[in-house]
Chain A
Amino acid sequence: MNESIVKEIDMEISEKIKEFIIDNFLFGESNHFDENTNFFEKGILDSTGIIELVSFIEQTYNISVDDEELVTENFSNLNRITNYIHSKVHSKVT
């Protein structure tokens, strides 16, 4: 896939996740929040919150998150979530 298209897709994923988090966990507040903000350290997501987020990701991208993958390494910030979704969608395609 063309590198610029990949970048564009990643950007779209990132924006969509960001919007979901801002709407459902920060209730509109987007200050002090970038790709590397740690959701757990900043108290943005808790254990139930991550489940809500995963359900959203599964529904939106038609993927299934394995229990073993449900670790903070994959979901601690926007970049990691984007990479995770990217790899899951990519592996599905290939």
Chain B
Amino acid sequence: MCGIAGIFKNNNSQPDPILLNKMIHSIRHRGPDESGLYIDDRVGLAHARLSIIDLSEGIQPIHNEDKSLWIIFNGEVFNYPELREELIKLGHKFYTKTDTEVILHLFEEDGVDCLQKLNGQFAFAIWDVKKQTLFLARDRAGILTLFYSISNGSLIFASEIKALFADQSLSRNINYKALDQIFTFWTTLNDHTFFNGVFELPPAHFMIVTPENHKIVKYWNLEFPIEGDYSALNKKDLTEKIEQTLLDAVKIRLRSDVPVGSYLSGGLDSSGITSIIKNNFNNKLNSFGIRFEDEDFDEGSFQQEMVKFLKIDQSELYIKNEDVGNSLESVLWHTEKPILRTSPAPLFLLSSLVHNSGYKVVLTGEGADEIFGGYNIFKETKIRNFWSRYPESKMRPLLLCKLYPYIFKDKRLGNTLIEFFKSGIDDPGNPLFSHLVRWNNTSRIKNFFSENVKSTLQGYNAYSDLLNLLPQDFRKWDYFAKAQYLEIIIFMSNYLLSSQGDRMAMANSVEIRLPFLDHRLIELMSRVNPEYKLNGLNEKFILKEVLKSRLPASIISRPKNPYRAPIKRGLINADSELVERYLSESELKKTGLFDTKKVKLFLKKMLKFEKISEIDGMALIGLLSTQIIYDKFINNFNNDLNDLRQFDLIFDYRSNKTF
């Protein structure tokens, strides 16, 4: 993957090459190998390259035969060899062996419909000199990001927000609605970012920018069938079809001119991917895994079992509690938004290990829980749906004990947890039924908002914004599809793939590739009966069928263990001064976002209790990360631009050339 940045000017001034250099320099971690620039009187395109395919010739921007089309590209198109062959037959001439050049010629051939043929993870910009039109696009699942801002008709865009802020004329202030969304859903909705005036091109969308206007279009839909109208594939045929598609998804994701590793957590998904690579494609595989000092989070025994079973080399990163706090500021520089979990931190540290081990690319198991139905929230929804048909039943809610046996061992917690899940079961027709109980719970941390934030947000309802994003047929889908859709468009795209995905990997110049999010698999699985996903209360049922001959029985049968990292012990310890530094009365007054008295009482409580509740954990990291983001991006923004490097390649077509 790489970093891209660009400017489209719609007034008499030219794009500023110094600004483009600053923009791309601020995201050089995404592409430390080479950099390039295209600039004319209207448009500037800058690129920072992480060389993975065609190491010697792949420097960007890349142009077509007559130099009327120019592209900067971040990501990978995995089916590029097949597409290239077709394009050569149609008479296209290539001067590199890259996937980037393939997209450009495909665009020449098919226009915006080229997106339908791409299998990959990407964000790119194509500048059509003849038509004076800029085309920006982002992959279907939203694995890669693309941010933009528009002022006075001019557009500025980049892979990361910090590159936009290299433009000092852009004001930097917090989008309170986004803060409200994060403190409800864990992340922002749709095109919102944490900053006013900065937007994200949503997954599966493209944008066309002309001197007259700009328009944003959705080119692919995540769709589910109307309840009952499922694919006719039987279990055997479905299993075969998934296996065939998954093997191909892995195979094409191993296309690279540099070695490819894998992440191995010891769970079903990463074990499955690692096993497929090792047994079908690469016998000398190196995998990478996280170990935790804190036993509550450690999955070491399962990792060891897989390493022994597959006979692979595994590099382990041992995370001490204090590592979480010590890396938090760097982590937030890359998430560019507050977080309600500390889970990104170990992944940030893991990508550093990968980088230092000489690897640039790893395959991961992300996405399987969303596509194949692995999360507890799907089970909760099934049980609560069943319970809602007879709300007075004492027996039906007891099924919840199967989900959280460790909690229900404590009878006290069990009784009250049932009350918690009962909330909303009188309204199973609510489109947000699956998630509302959790979101309402998370929303309690909005109690810390200052009076100013509360009054600014008066009348704002994040749920209404979300309801407006739901497709027309949503109400006709089954309960499982509804829950899956919400999980995918909110949590997966905007949190998992970003704050725990691309952003943590690229912080250390590492590209992640995600076979489970191959769009062929997403489309196949969206059409099947939910019983193939959650069979009874057996999660990822059909995926287990596919993988059972490849993995030890203990990995297949182990209950889903959500990946998490310590919050309180990670942030409040002898090693960390984060709380004192960022949650002091003076710092809180500086941002004006939170009620200082409440935070003071909250911190007092944090010190009083050894174990804290889920909600208090979310409040702690939520408050702290928001304060840190404010400090890094608003109060003391410094993207280290003192030592600008020259571009390695420049195409300068300006009528008046000055640097």
B65 adjacent to chain A (CB < 8 Å): no
B302 adjacent to chain A (CB < 8 Å): no
In the complex, what's the smallest C-beta–C-beta distance from B322 to chain A, in angstroms? 25
Residues of the B chain whose Cβ atoms lie less than 8 Å from the Cβ of A29:
447, 595, 598
Is the Cβ of B413 less than 8 Å from the Cβ of A24? no
Closest chain B residue, CB of each to CB of A71: B415
Is the Cβ of A46 less than 8 Å from the Cβ of B448? no
Contact of A28 among B413, B419, B420, B601 (CB under 8 A): B601
Residues of the A chain whose Cβ atoms lie less than 8 Å from the Cβ of B584:
none
Contact with B along A45-69 (1 / 0, CB 8 A): 0111111101000000000000100
The answer for the CA separation of A50 and B411 in the assembled complex, in Å, is 13
Contact with B along A10-54 (1 / 0, CB 8 A): 000000000000011011110000000000100100111111101
- Name B residues whose Cβ lies closer than 8 Å to a Cβ of A: 411-413, 415-417, 419-420, 423, 440-441, 443-444, 447-448, 595, 597-599, 601-602, 604-605, 609, 613-615
Is the Cβ of B420 less than 8 Å from the Cβ of A43? no
Which of A23, A27, A54, A72 has the most chain B CB atoms closer than 10 A to its own CB? A27
Is the Cβ of A43 less than 8 Å from the Cβ of B448? no
The count of A-to-B residue pairs whose CB atoms sit within 8 angstroms is 64
| 10 A-B pairs closest in CB distance | A48-B613, A27-B598, A47-B416, A27-B601, A47-B417, A67-B411, A50-B416, A28-B597, A47-B420, A27-B602
Is the Cβ of A27 less than 8 Å from the Cβ of B597? yes
A9 adjacent to chain B (CB < 8 Å): no
Residues of the A chain whose Cβ atoms lie less than 8 Å from the Cβ of B447:
26-27, 29
Which of B419, B443, B448, B609 has the most chain A CB atoms closer than 10 A to its own CB? B419
The answer for the CA separation of A23 and B420 in the assembled complex, in Å, is 22
Is the Cβ of A46 less than 8 Å from the Cβ of B441? yes
The answer for the CA separation of A84 and B609 in the assembled complex, in Å, is 25
Residues of the B chain whose Cβ atoms lie less than 8 Å from the Cβ of A24:
601, 605
Which of B412, B416, B605, B615 has the most chain A CB atoms closer than 10 A to its own CB? B416
Is the Cβ of A51 less than 8 Å from the Cβ of B413? yes
Residues of the B chain whose Cβ atoms lie less than 8 Å from the Cβ of A27:
447-448, 595, 597-599, 601-602, 605
In the complex, what's the smallest C-beta–C-beta distance from A44 to chain B, in angstroms? 8
Residues of the A chain whose Cβ atoms lie less than 8 Å from the Cβ of B443:
43
Q: List 13 A-B contacts (CB under 8 A).
A: A23-B604, A24-B601, A43-B440, A43-B444, A47-B416, A47-B420, A48-B613, A50-B416, A52-B609, A54-B412, A67-B415, A70-B411, A70-B416
Residues of the B chain whose Cβ atoms lie less than 8 Å from the Cβ of A47:
413, 416-417, 419-420
Is the Cβ of A40 less than 8 Å from the Cβ of B615? no
Closest chain A residue, CB of each to CB of B412: A70
Is the Cβ of A46 less than 8 Å from the Cβ of B601? no
In the complex, what's the smallest C-beta–C-beta distance from A35 to chain B, in angstroms? 20
- Assuming the A-B contacts A43-B443, A43-B444, A70-B412, are A48 and B615 also in contact, with contact meaning beta carbons closer than 8 angstroms in the complex? yes
Residues of the A chain whose Cβ atoms lie less than 8 Å from the Cβ of B605:
23-24, 27
Is the Cβ of B412 less than 8 Å from the Cβ of A46? no
Residues of the B chain whose Cβ atoms lie less than 8 Å from the Cβ of A23:
601, 604-605
The answer for the CA separation of A49 and B448 in the assembled complex, in Å, is 17
Residues of the A chain whose Cβ atoms lie less than 8 Å from the Cβ of B444:
43, 46
The answer for the CA separation of A67 and B595 in the assembled complex, in Å, is 36
Is the Cβ of A49 less than 8 Å from the Cβ of B415? no
In the complex, what's the smallest C-beta–C-beta distance from A42 to chain B, in angstroms? 10
In the complex, what's the smallest C-beta–C-beta distance from A34 to chain B, in angstroms? 18
Is the Cβ of B441 less than 8 Å from the Cβ of A48? no
Is the Cβ of B415 less than 8 Å from the Cβ of A70? yes
Is the Cβ of B412 less than 8 Å from the Cβ of A67? yes
Residues of the A chain whose Cβ atoms lie less than 8 Å from the Cβ of B423:
40
In the complex, what's the smallest C-beta–C-beta distance from A26 to chain B, in angstroms? 7
Residues of the A chain whose Cβ atoms lie less than 8 Å from the Cβ of B604:
23
The answer for the CA separation of A48 and B598 in the assembled complex, in Å, is 19
The answer for the CA separation of A47 and B400 in the assembled complex, in Å, is 14
Closest chain B residue, CB of each to CB of A65: B412
In the complex, what's the smallest C-beta–C-beta distance from A11 to chain B, in angstroms? 24
Closest chain B residue, CB of each to CB of A45: B416
The answer for the CA separation of A29 and B413 in the assembled complex, in Å, is 26
Is the Cβ of B419 less than 8 Å from the Cβ of A40? yes
